[in-house]
Amino acid sequence: MSESILKNKIEVSFCTVTYNSSSKIVDFVKNIESLKSNIFNKKIYVVDNGSTDGTVAIVEELCTKYDDVSLMTPSKNGGFGFGNNYVIPSLTSDYHVVINPDVEIPSTQTIDDMVLYMEQHKEVGLLSPKIMNTDGTVQKLYKHNPSILDMALRFISPNVMKKRKSWFVHDETGYTQIGTIDHASGACMFFRTTIFKKVGGFDERYFMYMEDADITREVNQVSKAVFYPKVSVVHEWQRESHKKFKYTMYTLKSMAKYFNKWGWKWM
């Protein structure tokens, strides 16, 4: 499908949730602002979850510079899903991008290609691009629905059950094949806005972690979630859950909520 088929410009909204993101947010907004397209217009929402490092003041200044940037400051820090859902009443876009402030979109063509794919495939409600590390390697985030075993293996030696780990992240595809995805990464999710609203956004019972697995399952119940490796974004990945005890606890609590909701699948 070519862009010449589109009769009107498509509206694409972007939402990033910040928490002490002062070192990232300027580059993030400048990156999105650099996307100048013949097929889409953009709107950027920054939802701040109670930063104490000056992030809010920085975004307020950016709002004076760019008229398509809006800052929202909820009265509480309800977590990743809560922050992303905060924009739902304001959304009038055709497509909505949930994106971390440490993600870079390499070019306008990245968004153009996702828009055109979604316009051609009306059954798709969510696209997950290929996500790259800053060194050019692939982040293996094309996942099956998790089981207790798969989640437990995250905390065990990388030399244990290598075949199972390889299966879980679709290593056999070489990350070059388009396919249905069970668990897309919340670092960058390209939603059809009507589907994002239809599933009610993220389940806010998760404060952090597993909400991306949850919403991918919700999307797959009403439309289709697809891994789309023809485009990629760059993510400066911070594996906090492996670094600090409190993030490990967030992960374990979210795992319990996830399996209570979707069933305790052991393998």
DSSP notation for 152-199:
HGGGS-TTSSHHHHHHHTTGGGTT-S-EE-SB--TTEEEEEHHHHHHT
The predicted pLDDT at position 1 comes to 47
- What confidence score (pLDDT) does residue 3 get? 58
pLDDT of residue 241: 45
- Cβ atoms of 97 and 188 within 8 Å: the answer is yes
pLDDT in tens, the chain (267 residues): 455 556 689 999 999 999 999 999 999 999 999 999 999 999 999 999 999 999 999 999 999 999 999 999 999 999 999 999 999 999 999 999 999 999 999 999 999 999 999 999 999 999 999 999 999 999 999 999 999 999 999 888 888 999 999 999 999 999 999 999 999 999 999 999 999 999 999 999 999 999 999 999 999 999 999 999 999 999 997 655 445 778 889 999 999 999 999 999 998
Q: How far apart are CA 73 and CA 65, in angstroms?
A: 19
Q: How far is C-alpha 99 from the chain's CA centre?
A: 5
Q: Distance (Å, rounded) from C-alpha 222 to C-alpha 215?
A: 11
Q: What pLDDT does residue 53 have?
A: 96
Q: Which residue has the tokens 């008229």?
A: 67
Task: Give pLDDT, residue 246.
Answer: 85
Instruction: Report the SS3 class of residue 73.
Output: coil
Three-state SS sequence of 73-115:
CCCCCCCHHHHHHCCHHHCCCCEEEEECCCEECCCHHHHHHHH
